[in-house]
């Protein structure tokens, strides 16, 4: 009845959103969802700002086209110039908006790679799990996941691993057309140092490929007094002169993470490549952002005093919640990646708690079983398997929830890990 493509998509499935959400008094048996990386800590603040706005009738029209109003693009350019410390000022004409960074991930794949031609995009691992759908589902593009082994994924030594990954793909007849990095990283919550970014730019220059830097958590970075952590360095803060053709470098950013505004469905790509920009804008007719969302975002970005106070408060709340989560996990005997100072999540190591199964094999079946048990106990998390973790037992826990949900969710995890029934 369906095309082969339609039948394939039907089997992939889709997210249903949070159902039966936990509430300490109204629904204490509900599900604690650590899945979606949303900054729930700032929703009430953002809502108060939005409720003060007045929309005029222009928001009811199609407006200026598919790719973001000039007002919004100018406001975003000013925001980037103020907070990302670019080596050269960003111009509004470099910015293209669409209905979320998810859509722009696909756009980048479509305009950099030829479909069904053994062309691919290279990524490190572990890495954001939804890239596999964002970049591949409708494009025919392949992904080359590069293992770094014992190498620090954020040190300059990782460049050699990506070089080897590129050559390995080439030996299999694959043509790598782009490298994507998450900076700050998802799911590890670390930032790349400048030296590593320069090394990756040099690699992409040598190979003649694009570098796409997903910087959607750029301003969700918080200072930790308990350890030294890398600060955020945007790829655009580096002067490309003598390193790489600026037309090979593109940045992804949006409103969903730093501003706790996933419901706006608003993201942008920033590029100095006119042909790349024109190609993305032509395709954006299929994912044009809402005029109302653009009006809200422009008003927000233009109010730099409010943004400064908003981000300061967000950083304080994120750090407070992260430290609470780490304390609860440590008390429960659960190990985690402790070098993060960015993003909304903690990378857990539940390998010691994987159940023994008849088909344990490489351990991934045991991880799936543990994930099922966690779901049955009323807590959901993204698994390391979807994030291409090198070994089983890893889970991503989003800590930017209200305190009651955070405490209850970790309580349930600790009970399942220790084999105690959740009450």
CATH number at residue 343: 3.90.1150.10
CATH number at residue 162: 3.40.640.10
Per-residue pLDDT, 321: 98
Sign of CA dihedral 254, 257, 261, 264: positive
* Phi-psi label, residue 13: left if phi above 0, alpha if psi -120 to 50, beta otherwise: left
Q: Residues 272, 167: one domain? A: yes
Whole-number average pLDDT of the chain: 94
Q: Residues 299, 189: one domain? A: yes
Q: Residues 262, 168: one domain? A: yes
Look at residue 196 and tell me if it is in a domain.
yes
With residue 309 as reference, give the H or E element that holds it.
helix 304-331
pLDDT band at 224 (very low <50, low <70, confident <90, very high): confident
Per-residue pLDDT, 329: 98
At 267-279, the pLDDT tens digits run 999 999 999 999 9
Look at residue 100 and tell me if it is in a domain.
yes
Q: Residues 347, 294: one domain? A: no
pLDDT band at 423 (very low <50, low <70, confident <90, very high): low
Q: Residues 33, 71: one domain? A: no
Q: Residues 132, 94: one domain? A: yes
Look at residue 423 and tell me if it is in a domain.
no
Q: Residues 356, 242: one domain? A: no
What residues have CB less than 8 Å from 325, skipping those under 6 apart? 346, 397, 399, 406, 410
Q: Residues 350, 265: one domain? A: no
Q: Residues 328, 200: one domain? A: no
With residue 79 as reference, give the H or E element that holds it.
helix 70-83
35 neighbors 382 (Cβ within 8 angstroms): yes
**Structure-token pair, residue 29:** 């048996």
Look at residue 68 and tell me if it is in a domain.
yes
Per-residue pLDDT, 62: 81
For 352, the domain range is 4-44+307-418
Find the angle CA(145)-CA(149)-CA(153) to the nearest 5 degrees.
75
* Residue of 321, 320, 385 whose CA lies nearest to 350: 385
Look at residue 55 and tell me if it is in a domain.
no
Cα–Cα distance measured from residue 207 to residue 210, given in angstroms and rounded to the nearest whole number: 9
**Number of neighbouring beta carbons within 10 Å of residue 126:** 26
Look at residue 314 and tell me if it is in a domain.
yes
Prediction pTM value: 0.95
Domain boundary among 258, 276, 303: 303
**Number of neighbouring beta carbons within 10 Å of residue 107:** 27
Q: Residues 235, 364: one domain? A: no
Cα–Cα distance measured from residue 247 to residue 257, given in angstroms and rounded to the nearest whole number: 27
Cα–Cα distance measured from residue 109 to residue 367, given in angstroms and rounded to the nearest whole number: 31
Domain boundary among 279, 303, 327: 303
- Please give the tally of structural domains in the chain: 2
Instruction: List the single range of 9-13, 275-279, 366-370 with lowest mean pLDDT.
Output: 9-13
SS3 for 368? Answer: helix
Q: Residues 204, 352: one domain? A: no
Look at residue 173 and tell me if it is in a domain.
yes
With residue 255 as reference, give the H or E element that holds it.
none
With residue 170 as reference, give the H or E element that holds it.
helix 158-171
Q: Residues 12, 133: one domain? A: no
Per-residue pLDDT, 369: 92
Domain boundary among 303, 336, 358: 303
Look at residue 164 and tell me if it is in a domain.
yes
At 337-362, the pLDDT tens digits run 999 999 999 999 999 999 877 665 67
């Amino acid at each position: 009845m369906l095309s082969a493509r339609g039948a394939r998509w039907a089997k992939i499935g889709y997210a249903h959103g949070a159902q039966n959400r936990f509430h300490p008094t109204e629904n204490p048996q509900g599900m604690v969802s650590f899945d979606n990386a949303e900054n729930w800590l700032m929703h009430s603040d953002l809502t108060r700002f939005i409720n003060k706005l007045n929309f005029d009738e222009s928001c009811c029209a199609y407006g200026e086209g598919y790719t973001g109003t000039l007002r919004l693009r100018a406001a975003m350019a000013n925001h980037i110039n103020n907070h990302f410390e670019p080596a050269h000022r960003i111009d509004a004409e470099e910015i293209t908006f669409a209905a979320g960074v998810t859509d722009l991930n696909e756009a980048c794949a479509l305009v950099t790679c030829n479909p069904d031609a053994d062309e691919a995009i290279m990524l490190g691992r572990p890495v954001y799990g939804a890239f596999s759908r964002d970049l591949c589902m409708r494009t025919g593009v392949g992904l080359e996941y590069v293992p770094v082994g014992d190498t620090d994924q954020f040190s300059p030594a990782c460049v050699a691993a990506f070089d080897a990954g590129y050559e390995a793909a080439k030996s299999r007849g694959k043509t790598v057309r782009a490298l994507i990095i998450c900076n700050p990283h998802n799911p590890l919550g670390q930032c790349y140092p400048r030296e590593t970014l320069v090394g990756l730019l040099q690699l992409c220059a040598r190979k003649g490929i694009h570098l796409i830097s997903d910087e959607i958590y750029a301003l969700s970075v918080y200072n930790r007094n308990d350890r030294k952590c890398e600060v955020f360095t945007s790829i655009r803060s580096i002067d490309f002169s003598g390193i790489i053709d600026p037309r090979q470098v593109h940045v992804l950013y949006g409103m969903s993470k730093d501003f706790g505004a996933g419901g706006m469905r608003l993201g942008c790509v920033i590029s100095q490549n006119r042909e790349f920009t024109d190609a993305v804008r032509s395709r954006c007719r299929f994912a044009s952002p809402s005029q109302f969302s653009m009006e809200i975002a422009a008003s927000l970005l233009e109010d730099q005093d409010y943004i400064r106070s908003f981000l300061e408060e967000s950083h304080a709340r994120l750090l407070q919640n992260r430290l609470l989560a780490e304390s609860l996990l440590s008390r429960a005997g659960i190990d985690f990646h402790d070098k993060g100072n960015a993003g909304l999540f903690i990378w857990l190591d539940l390998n010691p708690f994987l159940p023994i199964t008849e088909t344990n094999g490489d351990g991934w079946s045991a991880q799936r079983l543990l994930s099922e048990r966690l779901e049955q106990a009323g807590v959901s998390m993204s698994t390391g398997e979807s994030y291409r973790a090198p070994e089983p037992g890893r889970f991503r826990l989003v800590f930017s929830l209200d305190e009651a949900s955070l405490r209850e969710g970790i309580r349930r995890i600790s009970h399942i890990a220790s084999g105690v029934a959740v009450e």
